[in-house]
A = this chain, B = another copy of it.
C-alpha cells in the first residue's frame, strides 16, 4: 500500500439508501424483536437463521416490480478463485420467505413436518432509494411449511394479533385484514379476464387489475376505476396505462372491492335473508359458519362479537355472489369462511380480524389466503394532514414455492412483520423513547492517577452500575463535563489531588443539575449546588443512593 501514489480521500458516507442505527435505535428494536420471538416461541415456532447470500436461482423472481423482472436484488457473479463453481450468480436475499422455501426443500428429510419456524434479520432490495425508502430493512417472519389446512392460516393471524399486543399496540389500534387470492381470481373469472382453460390469456390485464386493487386505499374508487379502464393521470401529469376493461367489467371489480364498505349498515337483514335462501347449499363452509353463528349455544359466551362478526359474514356472502360460478372463487370463499369460523371460536372477532376484499399483497407467489396487519390510529403526515398509520405486516399462503425445487406440492403459509414500520408506530404511540441512561463518568483530574480512576469505575461496575473513565484528553475539565452531558450521564465523579489527599471524592448530580438549571432561580441554584463530597470508601454506596437504588 505504501507504494501507491497518494489518492483522494475516500468519502465517509453511508451508501445511498442505507442507514446507520445508533444507541436506542438498536436496543429498542432488539427489545421489540425479543417480545415477538417470545410469542412465536410459545406458539411452537423454532428459530432459523439463513445466510444473507443465496444463489440467484434459489431466490427466484417474485418481487412485486414486474416491470423490471431482472432487477430488484443485489447480485454478483462468483469469481474463479473463490468458488468451486465460478460463474454462479449470488445475491442478497430480498425477503425471508424465499430462503425458507430453499431450506424446506434442502432439509426436507430431516425437518419435522409441519415445520414451524420464525426468522428475523435484514433483507435487501436494489431499488431506487428515496425519503424513508431504504435498501436494507429488517423483517421478522413466522411460517408454517407442510400444513395444507387453513387452520395454519388462522393460527398465523392469531399469532400476528398476539405479537402486536405483546410489543405494545393495544387492541383496537390494529386490525388484521384477511382476503384470499382465490377469491380475487374468481372475481376476475366472473369479469371475463381469467379463463381456467387458458390461464395465460389476459395475464397483463390481471396484473394491472391487482395493482389497481392494491392502490384502492391510496387512489380511492375513481382512481381505481381509471386504472381499470383506459388509465390514470396523477397530479404531476404522469400517465399510468390502464387494464382496458369495459365499463361493465370494471363495475364488477369495483362492486367486489367495495363489498365490505357498502354493507356496513344493512348487513344484518341481508345476512338473514341470504341464510334463509341457502338451505339447499348447507355443504358450503359459509353456510356452516352461518349455522355456527345462528346456534344459540355458540351465542352464549361469544355474544359480544358474534353480533359484530355478522359484518364479516355479510362480506363473505357478497363475495360468494361476485365470484359467480367460478370454482376457484368458491373455494376461496369457503377457505375464508373456515378461517373466520376458527378465529371466532378462539375469540378473535372482528375487533381484531376482518375480511377485506381490497387486500392483495404484492408478491407474486401467494396462492390462497393473504393477510395484512394495519394500524388504525391516526398520525400526521409530512404535510400535517391526519392519516391512518397503515400496514405493518403482511403475508399469506404460498403453496408453490417449495415445489419449485422439489417438484412436489408443499403447502406453506406465513407472515412478515415490517420491523422498522412497527418500531416507528411504537414511537408514535409513545411506547418507546424513554431516554437510555448514560454511564457514570469518572473524570480525570490528574493524568498520572489513571489507575485510581479506573479502579473507581471498576468498583462501580462490580456493583452493577454502568460506569466509565473519561479517556479523552483530560486537559480541559469543561470538555469532560460536556462529554458527560452528551452521554446523558447521571453523575460525574471528581477527585483532584486535594481530594485524593483527604481521601474523598466529589459527586456531581448531573440529572439534578440539569433540572435545577431548567427550573430553579439563581438563589435556589446556589443553595443547591447538586454536588456533594463523600469519603472515597463510600463511593459505591453514595452513587447508588444518588441513582435512587440505595
Question: Which residues of A are in contact with B by a Cβ distance under 8 Å?
Answer: 1-3, 9-16, 18-23, 25-27, 41-44, 46-55, 57-58, 60-61, 68, 71, 74-76, 79, 81-85, 88, 90, 92, 102-103, 105-107, 112-114, 116, 122, 124, 126-129, 135-136, 144, 146-149, 151-152, 154-155, 158, 199-200, 203, 341-342, 345-347, 364, 404-407, 438-439, 450-452, 454-455, 458, 461, 464-473, 483, 486-487
Across the interface, do A54 and B15 meet the contact criterion of CB distance under 8 Å? Answer: yes
Taking a contact as CB atoms under 8 Å apart, the answer to whether A21 and B42 are in contact is: no
Q: Nearest Cβ in chain B — how far from A470, in angstroms?
A: 8
Q: Are B46 and A345 in contact (CB under 8 A)?
A: no
Known: A11-B405, A53-B124, A346-B455. 19 other contacts (CB 8 A): A9-B405, A10-B55, A10-B405, A11-B55, A12-B105, A13-B102, A16-B83, A18-B51, A20-B48, A21-B48, A22-B48, A42-B467, A44-B438, A44-B439, A51-B136, A112-B483, A112-B487, A151-B471, A345-B452
Interface centre among A42, A44, A486 (most CB of B within 10 A): A44
Report the nearest B residue to A144, measured CB to CB.
B471
Contact B12 A345 (CB under 8 A): no
Whether B147 contacts A112 by the Cβ 8 Å rule is no
Residue of B whose beta carbon sits closest to that of A292: B451
> Bound complex: CA of A151 vs CA of B453, how far in Å?
10
Chain B nearest CB, measured from A163 CB (Å): 12
Complex partner residue of A51 from B1, B15, B41, B404, CB under 8 angstroms = B15
Q: How far apart sit A129 and B7, CA to CA, in the bound complex (Å)?
A: 33
Contacts A14-B51, A44-B468, A472-B146; A451 near B346 (Cβ below 8 A): yes
> Is A106 touching B467 in the complex (CB atoms < 8 A)?
no
Residues in B neighbouring A43, C-beta threshold 8 A: 439, 461, 466-468
Is the beta-carbon distance between A3 and B53 smaller than 8 angstroms?
no
| Across the A-B interface, the 4 shortest Cβ-Cβ residue pairs | A44-B468, A12-B105, A345-B451, A44-B439
Q: Is the CB of A346 within 8 A of B454?
A: yes
In the complex, which residues of chain B have a beta carbon less than 8 angstroms from the beta carbon of A152? 471
Asked whether A55 lies within 8 Å of B15 as measured between CB atoms, the reply is yes
Determine the residue in chain B with the shortest Cβ distance to A84: B16
Q: List 13 A-B contacts (CB under 8 A).
A: A11-B58, A12-B103, A14-B102, A16-B84, A21-B47, A21-B48, A25-B49, A42-B461, A44-B439, A44-B487, A52-B122, A82-B127, A155-B454
A22 and B10 within 8 A (CB): no
Give A88 to B151 CA distance when docked, in angstroms. 48
Specify which of B44, B76, B465, B486 is in contact with A75 (CB 8 Å cutoff). B76
A151 — which chain B residues lie within 8 A by C-beta?
Answer: 450, 454, 469, 471
Q: Could you tell me if B404 and A10 are in contact, using CB atoms closer than 8 angstroms?
A: yes
- Residues on the B chain within 8 Å of A407, using CB: 9
Cβ contact within 8 Å between A14 and B106: yes
How many angstroms from the CA of A51 to the CA of B71 in the assembled complex? 20
Residues from chain B with Cβ under 8 Å of A42 in the complex: 461, 464-467
Closest Cβ of chain B to A359, distance in Å, is 22
Q: In the bound complex, do residue B58 and residue A200 qualify as a contact, i.e. CB atoms below 8 Å apart?
A: no
